[in-house]
Amino acid sequence: MPKLIPATERLLRARKLIQQARDLPVPSTGLGKSDFSYIANVKDLFRQAKDLVKFIPQTAGVSAELKVEVKKIYEEIEQAARDILY
Protein backbone atom coordinates (compact mmCIF):
# COMPACT_ATOMS: atom_id res chain seq x y z
CA MET A 1 0.00 0.00 0.00
CA PRO A 2 1.44 3.41 -0.94
CA LYS A 3 2.40 5.81 1.80
CA LEU A 4 0.06 8.78 2.24
CA ILE A 5 1.64 12.17 1.69
CA PRO A 6 0.39 15.04 3.90
CA ALA A 7 -1.22 17.99 2.11
CA THR A 8 1.54 20.41 3.09
CA GLU A 9 4.17 18.07 1.65
CA ARG A 10 2.13 17.78 -1.56
CA LEU A 11 2.10 21.57 -1.89
CA LEU A 12 5.87 21.73 -1.46
CA ARG A 13 6.44 18.97 -4.01
CA ALA A 14 4.12 20.68 -6.50
CA ARG A 15 6.07 23.93 -6.17
CA LYS A 16 9.33 22.02 -6.69
CA LEU A 17 7.91 20.51 -9.89
CA ILE A 18 6.91 23.97 -11.14
CA GLN A 19 10.44 25.21 -10.42
CA GLN A 20 11.88 22.19 -12.25
CA ALA A 21 9.80 23.14 -15.29
CA ARG A 22 11.13 26.70 -15.11
CA ASP A 23 14.71 25.43 -14.76
CA LEU A 24 14.43 22.99 -17.67
CA PRO A 25 16.95 24.17 -20.29
CA VAL A 26 15.52 25.34 -23.59
CA PRO A 27 17.05 23.32 -26.43
CA SER A 28 19.64 25.40 -28.24
CA THR A 29 19.47 23.29 -31.39
CA GLY A 30 16.46 22.59 -33.53
CA LEU A 31 13.22 24.35 -32.75
CA GLY A 32 14.11 25.85 -29.36
CA LYS A 33 10.95 26.50 -27.32
CA SER A 34 8.89 24.86 -30.06
CA ASP A 35 10.71 21.52 -29.67
CA PHE A 36 8.08 18.86 -29.03
CA SER A 37 10.08 16.94 -26.45
CA TYR A 38 10.75 20.16 -24.50
CA ILE A 39 7.06 21.07 -24.50
CA ALA A 40 6.12 17.52 -23.49
CA ASN A 41 8.59 17.55 -20.58
CA VAL A 42 7.32 20.92 -19.33
CA LYS A 43 3.68 19.87 -19.60
CA ASP A 44 4.43 16.57 -17.86
CA LEU A 45 5.95 18.41 -14.89
CA PHE A 46 2.87 20.64 -14.74
CA ARG A 47 0.60 17.59 -14.90
CA GLN A 48 2.48 15.96 -12.04
CA ALA A 49 2.13 19.13 -9.96
CA LYS A 50 -1.62 19.28 -10.64
CA ASP A 51 -2.04 15.60 -9.81
CA LEU A 52 -0.38 16.12 -6.45
CA VAL A 53 -2.82 18.79 -5.30
CA LYS A 54 -6.05 18.15 -7.19
CA PHE A 55 -7.81 16.20 -4.43
CA ILE A 56 -6.73 18.36 -1.49
CA PRO A 57 -9.80 20.67 -1.62
CA GLN A 58 -12.17 17.66 -1.52
CA THR A 59 -10.44 16.03 1.44
CA ALA A 60 -12.31 16.19 4.74
CA GLY A 61 -10.68 18.24 7.45
CA VAL A 62 -8.58 20.43 5.19
CA SER A 63 -8.30 24.04 6.32
CA ALA A 64 -9.39 26.97 4.21
CA GLU A 65 -5.76 28.13 4.06
CA LEU A 66 -4.72 24.90 2.32
CA LYS A 67 -7.56 25.28 -0.18
CA VAL A 68 -6.33 28.79 -0.95
CA GLU A 69 -2.80 27.42 -1.39
CA VAL A 70 -4.10 24.88 -3.92
CA LYS A 71 -5.69 27.71 -5.91
CA LYS A 72 -2.36 29.53 -5.80
CA ILE A 73 -0.60 26.41 -7.12
CA TYR A 74 -2.99 26.27 -10.08
CA GLU A 75 -2.37 29.97 -10.73
CA GLU A 76 1.40 29.43 -10.52
CA ILE A 77 1.13 26.59 -13.03
CA GLU A 78 -0.86 28.74 -15.46
CA GLN A 79 1.58 31.64 -15.09
CA ALA A 80 4.58 29.36 -15.55
CA ALA A 81 3.00 27.83 -18.64
CA ARG A 82 2.52 31.30 -20.14
CA ASP A 83 6.09 32.30 -19.24
CA ILE A 84 7.76 29.13 -20.48
CA LEU A 85 5.74 27.99 -23.48
CA TYR A 86 4.47 31.23 -25.06
Tell me the pLDDT of the chain averaged across its residues.
92
DSSP 24: S
Q: Is 90 exceeded by the pLDDT of residue 31? A: no
In angstroms, the CA 4 to CA 29 distance is 41
Q: Could you tell me the pTM of the whole model?
A: 0.89
Q: With CA atoms as reference, report the closest residue to 83 among 32, 21, 27, 1.
A: 21
Is residue 52, in this structure, part of any structural domain at all? yes
Is residue 13, in this structure, part of any structural domain at all? yes
Q: Is 80 exceeded by the pLDDT of residue 78? A: yes
Mean pLDDT value of segment 32-43: 89
The residue segments making up the domain with residue 22 are 7-85
Is residue 48, in this structure, part of any structural domain at all? yes
Is residue 2, in this structure, part of any structural domain at all? no
Number of domains in the chain: 1
In angstroms, the CA 17 to CA 14 distance is 5
Is residue 60, in this structure, part of any structural domain at all? yes
Q: With CA atoms as reference, report the closest residue to 81 among 43, 44, 51, 53.
A: 43
Q: Is 80 exceeded by the pLDDT of residue 30? A: no
Is residue 46, in this structure, part of any structural domain at all? yes
Mean pLDDT value of segment 56-82: 93
Q: Is 80 exceeded by the pLDDT of residue 1? A: no
